[in-house]
Chain A
């Protein structure tokens, strides 16, 4: 029983990573009505930018300064990608979009390895790695959960209460109708990309101290992020966070009691497929669709 509780709590801690990324997935899904398969790689690249800003070989800025600067750069970068790469193909079929996502995936992955090489890098944390509860959860992970929850609150309030959040959802779900009521759809999409890139950057900076910084750090993690978002409901930021924590716990349970640590990614795969088949709206998807 002790093992069970311990695994559950440490699952929550891992779940914070997934919750963070799931939030970014939902953010972009709300804003552009697509999954961004390059999301993880973009977040990884943002994290490298932060690393460069902080590292002594780079600019040597303090953490929180680098944190903010990185968010701003990511925002601009995300919006620029939308304007430059996606705006010209806005009318193209889904396949074209998926191909461009894959192209971005490939480019960011390759570019990160090329510019910063493949050796894993240490990434600083402002929260420290001291244990918060001895043997269960470190202070960094507690900080990470806190930051995720703050971000969730901000995103929720943004979509729920601000006119621009509403306009953004309208632009993503029904661009033509949105245009007819005067929503500047192109601007909304760029804004959505910018915000999603920023959320991704925060996620990357929180995850990197745990996983180390490498070009491939996000590959598996993104899958869990997707799983979290799908479980929670792609239209619900709160659902995504809950889904992320659930995936973290489930991963630990499955890893410890059922399949062993080697099949963790397969757990995510099965989870995604089963949820999409059985309850496509996810846990909170439907409720929020009605209420929001």
Chain B
């Protein structure tokens, strides 16, 4: 049984059905990429896993169906860290308090050493630990978002367009670190990306979404070699 198993997932925004019932799975310790054009339902999929949109079907995490559970409960119980699009930084508090908020569901005493863990991956954050988070640059905020996710000691990380709005060089560094986190900590990751090249490079499997359905799935290297995908999403 996969760590995260989605079957027949439908999601709704009011009356509108945004996902039309597809299957998806994420194996323990692996990175899986979710690709697709705008409006394909990538973000909605991640939001459905966290219980942030009304959904039907089944989403099984560690053998438990989480559809209908509250976001807070899903996060706390199954250690799913969601790095939302646009980082979701708590702009009014300091950078380090942002990290502490990442561990808000954990016991206070346990988390002290985890700051160092985050700074190990993102040394740049250490220099700015007391700075107000809203004043960090886009790249730093994205790193902070990943760092905040790490503070949960997550089993699964859901990353929503981590490359959004970042310079190519920063994006590459970020993906290198994501790969490192995956290897070192054994965190499984579901990565939604527009930048298909980068995402496929660190992923084992990939899904291609089109207007609320899975159009194609398979090992990342096969997807990368597919003629159609290359034309439509990879641009060469």
> Closest CB of chain A to B68's CB: distance in Å?
15
* Chain B positions within 8 Å of A146 at CB level: none
Q: Is the CB of B91 within 8 A of A167?
A: no
**Number of chain A residues whose Cβ lies closer than 8 Å to a Cβ of chain B:** 22
Q: Is the CB of B132 within 8 A of A290?
A: yes
With A180-B75, A182-B76, A291-B94 as known contacts, state yes or no: A167 contacts B88, CB within 8 Å.
no
Residue on B nearest A176 in the bound complex, by CB: B88
Is B197 an interface position by the 8 A CB rule?
no
> Closest CB of chain A to B51's CB: distance in Å?
9
**Bound-complex Cα distance A289 to B82 (A):** 25
Is A46 an interface position by the 8 A CB rule?
no
**Bound-complex Cα distance A66 to B108 (A):** 36
Residue on B nearest A183 in the bound complex, by CB: B104
Chain A positions 134 through 169: 1 when the CB is less than 8 Å from some CB of chain B, otherwise 0: 000000000000000000000000000001001101
**Bound-complex Cα distance A291 to B100 (A):** 15
Interface residues on B, range: 20 to 34
* Chain B positions within 8 Å of A177 at CB level: 84, 88-90
Chain B positions 55 through 97: 1 when the CB is less than 8 Å from some CB of chain A, otherwise 0: 0000000000000000110011000011010001111111001
Task: Give residues in B with beta carbon < 8 Å to A.
Answer: 50, 52, 71-72, 75-76, 81-82, 84, 88-94, 97, 100-102, 104-105, 108, 130-132, 135, 148, 152
10 contacts between A and B (CB under 8 A): A166-B93, A174-B88, A174-B90, A177-B90, A181-B101, A181-B148, A183-B72, A184-B72, A290-B135, A292-B93
Given contacts A169-B93, A177-B88, A183-B104, list 15 more A-B pairs with CB under 8 A: A163-B108, A169-B92, A170-B90, A173-B90, A174-B89, A180-B75, A180-B82, A181-B101, A181-B105, A182-B104, A183-B101, A185-B72, A289-B92, A292-B93, A292-B97
Task: Give residues in A with beta carbon < 8 Å to B.
Answer: 163, 166-167, 169-170, 173-174, 176-185, 235, 289-292
